[in-house]
Structure 1
Amino acid sequence: MPPPPGPMEVDAVTDTQGVTIPDPLTRPIRSNEILGRRKAPPKTQWGVAAAAHSSSFRQGPSEGKPKARRWDHRFTEESLARKGSQLKGAAKYLGNPGLISLGGGLPSSEYFPFSELSLKLPVPGHFEGTDFDAHATTVSAGKHDLAQGKSIFDIATAFNYGQGTGAAQLLRWLTEHTELVHRPPYADWACTMSVGATSAFDMALRMFTRPGDAILSEEFTFASALDTATPMGLHVVGVSMDQEGLLPDSLDAILSGWDPAARGGASKPFILYTVPTGQNPTGATQSARRRRDIYRVAREHDLFILEDEPYYFLQMQPYVGTGAREQRQAPPPPRSHDEFLASLVPSYLSMDTDGRVMRMDSFSKVVAPGSRVGWITASEQVVEKYKMHADVSTQCPSGMSQLILFKLLEEHWGHGGYLDWLIHLRLEYTGRRDNILEACEKYLPKEVVSWVPPAAGMFHWMRIDYAKHPRYPAKSVTQLEDELFMASIAHGSLVMRGSWFLTDRSVEPDQLFFRATYAAAPADKIQEAIRRFGEALRESFGLEGGGGGGGEANGSKSVANGNGV
């Protein structure tokens, strides 16, 4: 179903009521106010390879807010040695009136074999399949729209070299979006673009860690994060989890009892990497209280948090179960942009008063992964170090992708339309999540499999009671996992082995999980895949055929440590 249109924000009063009008400079900014509060930048801000800083695009006041703490003592020798690109630094002079540039090796747009880019884009309120096509609008970008006064971004600019920050045109939109959603509570925060969270994670590790260091993460974590950290000589230490994800008491215990001698000489960790919302692979979502408790531990032990949030906007409607036994009704979807934003679990960035969080955002899960455009938000000091690295490595995200996103987000949808799209995704993923849970309740044998309904993200985490397997303990947990995995493949269903996500792969696991995703396959295919997985489990465990529940009845079962998820 399409999201409701963004309403006008009006406070109704009678002619006899007294009303306190909030200070427009200090109250939270609303999506429909952003355009009117923009500062007027010089035209040179939009030129080829123009230098940009997101502080120019922030709208809320910074007076009275604390400054971020500095991390000079934590940066690696590599990071401290980086001075950025001298060639890119010279680009700041390109805006000087009358300047003739024979400096930078910027190809002439005369030799770009593109004259126009056309995009067929959905209109807010009409995001469904046939409705999408009937109401779609065609938006175009020409080669010289900037010079002709038609737009502030065009092919000649976007398709050329750019700064590590990304183009100012899109950076402004990202900065405004970050302020609208998270309202960072310290004064000197900034955004800069990335080519996705995996690259941002790689750069952060090079900025803050050295071979032999240990970093912290959930005991089951994003496999690519492990594959990034391990070749750098880093040891990833897993923190116990429950149904809300990472446990603050476990985090505190690891740090309080840290013994370098027992940890191979590794000093006490400084970096915590976490996926707080719809965690990959467990699907767990940290509550606001859980995040505040973890942030408190981070302050006590002086941790720097890498907040990886690709699934943040895939927070779903509450799961109320299926079947005749469930008479409860799910709450209605958000009816306004304000209500939608208020429904989201607060981010670490939104509670960071120290500048000890680097948030990594991405368009991969909410627009398109092939765009390879994301951004980080951190203190100006951290952002500057990150930009210096980007200038001489990734350089900047694809200019073609930036122009496409600019046309979609800035010139077509605006901030309000993007929020409408995110509300639409919320409802779509709620339906997908409910579909896989219905299939699990119908087809999986509850005697040996349990789960907790995910509240966000793309993943469903299923715990297998391996102790009930007829070949345990003759077969190890790893051998049983392999048997079940291959049995599922033989039945025509692919689910991922939980051990692939273990932070510590050197020891025999004492838990057995499988991860399924409900993100891509059609509803009927999801049902059939779960049915086949159920058949494989019954066959391997020697169970009688037939359906069998799970679902909410399993909500108290272990996800990661015997106590939840």
Structure 2
Amino acid sequence: MAPSAVEMEVKGETDTTAVVVPNPLDINGLASWRKKGAVPTGTAAFSSSDMFKSPACYTKPKAKRWDHILSTEAKSRKPSSLKGAAKYLSRPGMISLGGGLPSSENFPFEELSMKVPKAPGFSEGEIRASGRTITAGKHDIREGKSLLDLEVALNYGQSVGFAQMVRFVTEHTEIVHDPAYSDWNCCLTAGSTMAWDATLRILCERGNYILAEEYAFASALETAAPLGIRVAAVKMDEQGLLPGNLDEVLSNWDEKERGAAKPHLLYIVPSGQNPTGATQSAERRAEVYKVCQKHDIFIVEDEPYYFLQMEPYKSDVPPPSTREEFLKVLLPSFLKIDVDGRVLRLESFSKVLAPGSRVGWIVAPEQIAQRFAHHFDTSTQNPSGFSQMCLFKLLEEGWGHAGYLDWLMHLRLEYTARRDILLGACEKYLPQEVVSWVPPSAGMFQWFEVPWKNHPGYAKGLSHVEIEESIFTAAVDRGALLCRGSWFRADKNMAEEKMFFRATFAAASAEKMQEAIKRFGEALRAEFGI
């Protein structure tokens, strides 16, 4: 059953007043929103989300301060002196002999063209037949053709990203989440994995513990381990992280036994959780947030699957038919319910546009976002100019906010259809006496539970690891690759009482998904002697 989107109240330390956000889906409304000032268009032009928020945003209170959780590394980083000098480039008549910005005359790219869909023609066939070709030229800005061109996009830029893309993601954040405090900021990232690595460096010290769901994204765990950061696992159910167990872990934390202070950071994937596919209801999110308020926990909300929320499996509930309905049925993000400024949201274009773009962004209190900018000044700098240019042409000039929401609604239907195909195959081919599952209501993963103690090898003394390996290998030998649940276990020292396998419905065709599930079913029958 899909988690419900309900009205809720989360009480914070500051009073918040309801304000009306201008409707950017209306062209006139968006134009009014943007009247505050033009987007900076120069090379390495400085920008921040504060340039692009609605006037309503500034009527809200500010976030609380987080000085006490900043790492030594984060506190040591200073703004880039070279990047800071770029602010003088906007002065009329300024001739720069300062920064080493190559002349665009030496860029061997005169123009870049791509063919993109026109809503609602989003299928590959419709794109080929009626898609729109968008071209970016080297000098479009000076020729009055665009707000971004190759002269700017292919040069060095500010670590927060090009102003043109910062404006789009800032407006998108306010449209979808409308944060309850005023001083939030966006900073573009080279994907969420890099953003998570930066998060750990900015907010943790070697030897610290962080909190995570007992089964968590393997790459997130593998990012933390080499940094000397340990993970305290929080139990889960079909809706994800259990707030009661989170409170229990924190209330009973024993520094002497654990060898470290109580954690101050929670990593969580609330929608279509990877690997379990679990989605937290609005009520569950509110409960988790209140526990984090109680223990002063900072929340890292990793949400690549947020827009892949679906209707319940075999439900008569119709999907949203308008953009307004779509926004209304989305479950509230932690960013949306955050009244303290205790949420860092990791956003990504990977699951909704293209993983290879390597462009995402973070939303966080200004104090934290600024630390990300300082960190990127001397590491990734900013996402690829080619990628930012392509995304700008698609999202800003091709679709606009309304068209992007149309695309997200389309993608939601595509993933719902894929999920239903995989679940239909599960019902047809899997031996349900030895495997069970809960239909996901978001994301791209299906989580299977296998009663491993019923396996014939258990009576012969085989361990959890050996039985899991046997089932995994049996499926591989039959040509079906699923992920082992143990790969995602947050605390490798805890004994596993249950056994799981993960399948995705994101990549394979309908026929191949059905065949893979059939092969997995054959492997289970052989392993359990059915």
TM-score (norm 2): 0.95
In structure 2, the CA distance between the partners of 1:175 and 1:63, relative to structure 1 (3 Å rule), is: closer
Per-residue CA deviations over 1:503-544 (Å, capped at 9, x if unaligned) read 11134422110000000000000000000000000001100x
Given that 1:215 and 1:271 are in contact with CA atoms closer than 8 Å, whether structure 2 keeps it comes out as: yes
The Cα of 1:125 is off from its aligned counterpart by 0.8
The Cα of 1:129 is off from its aligned counterpart by 2.8
Aligned to 1:237, the other structure's residue is in SS state: strand
Question: What letter matches 2:102 in structure 1?
Answer: P
Q: 1:104 maps to which residue?
A: 99
Q: 1:475 maps to which residue?
A: 462
Q: Name which of 535, 541, 548 aligns with 2:522.
A: 535
The Cα of 1:113 is off from its aligned counterpart by 0.5
In structure 2, the CA distance between the partners of 1:172 and 1:63, relative to structure 1 (3 Å rule), is: closer
Q: 2:481 maps to which residue?
A: 494
The Cα of 1:42 is off from its aligned counterpart by 4.8
Q: 1:563 maps to which residue?
A: none
Question: What letter matches 2:286 in structure 1?
Answer: R
Q: 1:369 maps to which residue?
A: 355
Aligned to 2:449, the other structure's residue is in SS state: strand
Q: 2:270 maps to which residue?
A: 276
Q: Name which of 254, 259, 266 aligns with 1:259.
A: 254
Tell whether 2:405 aligns with 1:410.
no
In structure 2, the CA distance between the partners of 1:519 and 1:278, relative to structure 1 (3 Å rule), is: same
Q: 1:385 maps to which residue?
A: 371
Aligned to 1:187, the other structure's residue is in SS state: coil
Q: 2:287 maps to which residue?
A: 293
Aligned to 2:57, the other structure's residue is in SS state: coil
Given that 2:21 and 2:54 are in contact with CA atoms closer than 8 Å, whether structure 1 keeps it comes out as: no
Q: Give 5+ residue unaligned stretches, structure 2.
A: 1-17
Aligned to 2:75, the other structure's residue is in SS state: helix
Given that 1:39 and 1:57 are in contact with CA atoms closer than 8 Å, whether structure 2 keeps it comes out as: no
Given that 1:29 and 1:60 are in contact with CA atoms closer than 8 Å, whether structure 2 keeps it comes out as: no
The Cα of 1:353 is off from its aligned counterpart by 0.8
In structure 2, the CA distance between the partners of 1:36 and 1:135, relative to structure 1 (3 Å rule), is: farther
The Cα of 1:428 is off from its aligned counterpart by 0.4
Q: 1:207 maps to which residue?
A: 202
CA distance in 1, matches of 2:95, 2:104: 16
Given that 2:341 and 2:364 are in contact with CA atoms closer than 8 Å, whether structure 1 keeps it comes out as: yes
CA distance in 2, matches of 1:274, 1:507: 19
Q: 1:505 maps to which residue?
A: 492
Aligned to 2:307, the other structure's residue is in SS state: helix
CA distance in 2, matches of 1:86, 1:377: 24
CA distance in 2, matches of 1:463, 1:116: 52
Q: Give 5+ residue unaligned stretches, structure 1.
A: 1-23, 321-328, 544-565
Q: 2:115 maps to which residue?
A: 120
CA distance in 1, matches of 2:323, 2:37: 28
Question: What letter matches 1:278 in structure 2?
Answer: G
The Cα of 1:430 is off from its aligned counterpart by 0.3
Tell whether 2:314 aligns with 1:344.
no
The Cα of 1:132 is off from its aligned counterpart by 2.4
Aligned to 1:425, the other structure's residue is in SS state: helix
Q: Name which of 337, 346, 352 aligns with 1:360.
A: 346
Tell whether 2:449 aligns with 1:463.
yes
My pick for the range that moved more, 434-443 or 503-512, is: 503-512
Q: Name which of 37, 43, 60 aligns with 1:41.
A: 37
CA distance in 2, matches of 1:297, 1:234: 22
My pick for the range that moved more, 179-188 or 63-72, is: 63-72
Per-residue CA deviations over 1:467-513 (Å, capped at 9, x if unaligned) read 21111141111100000000000111000000000011134422110
Aligned to 1:330, the other structure's residue is in SS state: coil
CA distance in 2, matches of 1:92, 1:65: 28
In structure 2, the CA distance between the partners of 1:391 and 1:267, relative to structure 1 (3 Å rule), is: same
Aligned to 2:67, the other structure's residue is in SS state: coil
CA distance in 2, matches of 1:172, 1:62: 15
The Cα of 1:189 is off from its aligned counterpart by 0.9
The Cα of 1:63 is off from its aligned counterpart by 4.6
Per-residue CA deviations over 1:164-205 (Å, capped at 9, x if unaligned) read 100001110000000000000011111111111111111111
Aligned to 2:56, the other structure's residue is in SS state: coil
Question: What letter matches 1:409 in structure 2?
Answer: L
CA distance in 2, matches of 1:455, 1:59: 32
Given that 2:21 and 2:56 are in contact with CA atoms closer than 8 Å, whether structure 1 keeps it comes out as: no
CA distance in 1, matches of 2:136, 2:291: 49
Q: 1:552 maps to which residue?
A: none
Question: What letter matches 2:93 in structure 1?
Answer: G
CA distance in 2, matches of 1:495, 1:253: 33
The Cα of 1:262 is off from its aligned counterpart by 1.2
**How do 1:296-307 and structure 2 match up within 5 A?**
296-307=290-301
The Cα of 1:50 is off from its aligned counterpart by 0.5
CA distance in 2, matches of 1:475, 1:420: 52
Given that 2:208 and 2:228 are in contact with CA atoms closer than 8 Å, whether structure 1 keeps it comes out as: yes
CA distance in 1, matches of 2:152, 2:59: 38
Given that 1:26 and 1:60 are in contact with CA atoms closer than 8 Å, whether structure 2 keeps it comes out as: no
Q: 2:156 maps to which residue?
A: 161
My pick for the range that moved more, 489-498 or 127-136, is: 127-136
Question: What letter matches 2:177 in structure 1?
Answer: H
CA distance in 2, matches of 1:40, 1:27: 15
Given that 2:24 and 2:33 are in contact with CA atoms closer than 8 Å, whether structure 1 keeps it comes out as: no
Given that 2:117 and 2:127 are in contact with CA atoms closer than 8 Å, whether structure 1 keeps it comes out as: yes
Per-residue CA deviations over 1:101-125 (Å, capped at 9, x if unaligned) read 0000001110111001101010101
CA distance in 1, matches of 2:20, 2:426: 48
CA distance in 1, matches of 2:73, 2:511: 51
Q: 2:216 maps to which residue?
A: 221
Question: What letter matches 1:454 in structure 2?
Answer: P
Q: 2:243 maps to which residue?
A: 248
Aligned to 2:68, the other structure's residue is in SS state: coil
User: What's the C-alpha RMSD, in Å, of the aligned pairs?
Assistant: 1.3
CA distance in 2, matches of 1:167, 1:108: 18
The Cα of 1:64 is off from its aligned counterpart by 4.2
Given that 1:30 and 1:338 are in contact with CA atoms closer than 8 Å, whether structure 2 keeps it comes out as: no
Q: 1:186 maps to which residue?
A: 181
Aligned to 2:458, the other structure's residue is in SS state: coil
CA distance in 1, matches of 2:301, 2:468: 31
Question: What letter matches 1:455 in structure 2?
Answer: S
